[in-house]
Amino acid sequence: MVEHVGLVISGHAKVKMDDGSEVDMRAGDLFYVPPGHDSWVVGEEPCVSQHFMGAGD
């Protein structure tokens, strides 16, 4: 379980937190996603993001 901080470069992803809340992330969005989540790409276009923190091992 790891947190993520970053910027969505292109595409669209959805994040679902362990508490059931959901967030959409689209190109241009800065994001902070705390531990305790799942995420997936929405649509056919790949979701490309630059992670500033949480992209390690």
Annotated domain spans of the chain? 4-51
- Give pLDDT tens digits for 2-30: 899 999 999 999 999 999 999 999 999 99
The residues, ordered by sequence, that sit 6+ positions from 24 with a Cβ below 8 Å of its Cβ are: 12, 13, 14, 42
List the beta bridge partners of residue 25.
13
Q: Rounded to two decimals, what is the model's pTM?
A: 0.84
